[in-house]
Structures are given as structure tokens and as C-alpha cells.
Amino acid sequence: MTFTRAVLTLSFVAGTSLAWSAPAGEASWPEFRGPTRQGTSDAVGLPVKWSTTENIAWKADLPGRAWSSPVVGDGVVYLTNAVGAKDSTDPHDTFSLRVMALNATDGKTIWDREVFVIKDPHTFGIHGKNSYASPTPVLEGDRIYAHFGHFGTACLNTKGDVQWKNQQVTYSPVHGGGACPVLVDDLLIFPADAASNPFVVALDKRTGKMKWKTDRTAGAKKTFSFSTPLVIEVKGEKQLVSPGSNVVSALNPKDGSEIWKVSYEGYSVVPRPIYAQGLVFLSTGYDRPTGLAIRPDGKGDVTGTHVVWRMEKGAPLTPSMLAVGEDLFSVADNGIVSCFEAKTGKLFWQERVARATSASPLYADGKIYIQDELGNGYVIKASRQLELLSTNALGQKSLASYAVNGRQLLIRTQNTLFCVGTP
């Protein structure tokens, strides 16, 4: 998630490109877009049909207002949350920024821990589709890394005990926070693409202390963006691919040094990049999004040499893209879904499937799951011809992206966490 308007076990589904391999024994859904960080799951038997009463294993009422996605490990669901002491539109409100743990079997709260207390959080303003807890946390082993944008970052253990806090990474956001943090070896890394002087920063995951900081120098007039980086491996070396306003940079995660970059015109970039068929795919943001397919084997400025093809129609402003085998799927914010050949950009089909959509799609077991902002879930076949399998209404606003736990879907709506499917 993710400003959800605003994430690798082994390889892509039937793909040839490897993203960075995560450690063995990691959580079943450890961060935004799951164990592959790219919205693909090896789960089988996920539900195809549901409603507020049909195929619901449990549902949990959620206080506050937050659009981070759930993460899951060892039978526990973890969420970040923002709970106002008064009305969330009051400019002088006080917010409690929290991490919650729910039993994945029945949805009951195990613990609910306050991490930060924020007074007058509206100082910098916030977008109507954002919240004060939009970035999805990261779960690794017995540690949860919760990032609340410019309000601060914290590490808790799975018992709910705070291990460290960092509120020294300061910047002035536009529309609030959104980019999720990522773990790379012993570092927790996130971008701060704010009102001015944007940068990417790495913290020591054991202590929360800053290890490096890299400024973005793209010359953008509007420097704010919300994209979560993706770690990939190219020729045996890790790259942190991080889109921002006017530029996507691949950084060496050890020290933040730049490996390559591609320039473009665009700001308020939200989608997380994906990596498949030897190419990085991303979208360039406002005012007119363009999808780019980039070879990540270059050095320096590769704008003129490594962009393989461009998606001029159907590129998303908010949802991340999805790769399945040799194909690339894009869900635009207006609900139009496109299917391309990933290597060449050849368009197979482009049709309206959903209503306005912010959540990123999910692939599992030959199917693609799409969640729109009205709470409708659409299931289509992952194929070169559109086949709609079902439309499923939950009747609540929904901006968060899916999580998977076994044969179940976790769907966060404005007031509720739904667990969809059978145990």
C-alpha cells in the first residue's frame, strides 16, 4: 500500500526474471504485495465468490482511519492504524498511531499498541484518499517495522513491545505519506519524496539509526511522490529500484550510490515497480501516466538507451502492475484493465472491468483479483482474452491492497478487515 491511491521467494510466476530472493522461513504475506513484492501468490483454492455474508470466515471492526494493507505470519495478522481522539477532520485533533495484531483464525485482537502520539497532524494537509497510516508495515521473523511517513518509523517485536523509534528523518510531505519501507539485508529503506529536497534513506534495522541518505536530483517542479521501492538482482548484484518525480533510480542498497537512472516527466508517482522478463516496469505519475519497460543492466543515465517500450494508454496512476508468465497486466485508476506482451508491449486486450480503483491487483492460481474503491472485488482469468469470473460486493470504501493467508483473502475496507474464504 501503500498511499493506496496510493512490497521474493524465488521467481515470478512462469517468468524468467528473478527478483531478490528473500530469506527462507519468512512470513506468509510479509509486506505490501506479498512475498514476491509484486502481487503474485502460489496459493491455490482462494475464493472466487463472496459478499458481506457469503464465504466470510470472519470480520473485525477497525477503529480509526488507515489504508495500509495487512501483513500475515505465524497465524497472526498485523496492521497499522491511526485513531483520532476527536473527529478526523478537526485541524486540532490528536492522533494515536498504532500497530495491531489480530488472530488470523477468528480476527480477535491479540494486542493493540500505541507507537506515536501526533498533535495537530493536519499541519501539512492530507489527500482525501490518504490516511495517517497508509504505508504497509514489513514483517520479518519476530520483528514488525512500522513506518508512518514523516511522523516516524518504529520496530516492534511480535509481542507488541517497541524495540526502537526514529523521528529524526524529517521532511515536509504533500498529501501525507504513502511509500512503504523495504528490508534489504540489515537495512530498512524508504523514500521521502516530499515538498522539497526529496531523498531516499536507509536505517539500521536493529537500532533505527540512519546509515545513508541519497538526495534525488531530478529537477522536478513538483517533487512529491509515494512509490514503494523494489529490490531486484541483476548479474548477481542487488538494486533498489525507486521511482520518484521525474526520475527512477536504481541504487546500490549498501550505500545508496546510483547505479542507473531513467528520466521522465511525472510527479506524484504511486505504483510500485515490478520486474519480469528481464525488464523493470513502472508508471510515471501525473499528469499523464506512461508505462515504461526498462532494461536494468545499464550504468549512469540510460534514458536514451534502455527504455524498451512505452505504454501510452492504460498506464495506472495508483495501482501497481502485475506480471503473469509472459504477460503484463495493468489496472488503470478508472478500472480499465489491459493485457500486454511483457517483452514487446503488444496489446492483447483493454476493457473496463472495475470502477475507480486504487488497490494493486493480485495474481493466484490462474486468476487475477481486482479491488475497486467501492469495495467490489472482481475475479478474472489471467489470460490473453478477458473472462470475468465474478463480481463481489462488500459495500464499504476500499483502498488497501489484498493480503493472502493460506486459502483466504484479507481485504481491508474503511471500517472492517474481512477474512474471505474457508480455513
The label of the residue with cell 519480469 reads: 276
pLDDT of 88: 53
pLDDT of 34: 98
pLDDT band at 120 (very low <50, low <70, confident <90, very high): confident
> What pTM was estimated for this model as a whole?
0.93
Residue 120 buriedness (CB in 10 A; 0-12 / 13-18 / 19+): exposed
33 assigned to some structural domain = no
DSSP letter string, 16-53: SPPBPPPPTT--SB-STTTTTTSSEE---S--S---SS
Identify the three-state secondary structure at position 124: helix
Q: What is the pLDDT of residues 146-202, one digit of tens each?
A: 999 999 999 999 999 999 999 999 999 999 899 999 999 999 999 999 999 999 999
Please state, as a whole number, how many other Cβ atoms lie within 10 Å of the Cβ of residue 117: 12
CA dihedral 6, 9, 10, 13 (to 10 degrees): -50
pLDDT band at 23 (very low <50, low <70, confident <90, very high): very low
75 assigned to some structural domain = yes
197 assigned to some structural domain = yes
What residues form DSSP beta bridges with 393?
Answer: 376
CA atoms within 13 A on the CB side of 195: 11
pLDDT of 8: 29
Cell numbers that stand for 408 in this block: 483466504
377 assigned to some structural domain = yes
Of the candidates 2, 27, 104, 91, the residue with the CA atom closest to the CA atom of residue 408: 104
Instruction: State the CATH number of the domain containing residue 174.
Output: 2.130.10.10
CA gap 267, 406 in Å, rounded? 37
Name every residue whose Cβ is closer than 8 Å to that of residue 312 and which is 6 or more positions away in sequence: 290, 291
16 assigned to some structural domain = no
Largest CA distance in the chain: 54
Mean pLDDT of 36-54: 97
pLDDT of 119: 84
25 assigned to some structural domain = no
13 assigned to some structural domain = no
User: Over pLDDT 70: what percentage of the chain?
Assistant: 91
CA gap 371, 392 in Å, rounded? 9
CA gap 180, 95 in Å, rounded? 20
pLDDT of 21: 39
For 151, list phi and psi in degrees, rounded to 5. -75, -25
9 assigned to some structural domain = no
What's the number of domains the chain is made of? 1
pLDDT at residue 92 greater than cutoff 80: no
Q: What is the pLDDT of residues 236-287, one digit of tens each?
A: 999 999 999 999 999 999 999 999 999 999 999 999 999 999 999 999 999 9
Q: What is the pLDDT of residues 350-402, one digit of tens each?
A: 999 999 999 999 999 999 999 999 999 999 999 999 999 999 999 999 999 99
pLDDT of 126: 77
Q: What is the pLDDT of residues 178-188, one digit of tens each?
A: 999 999 999 99
Domain encompassing residue 81: 40-420
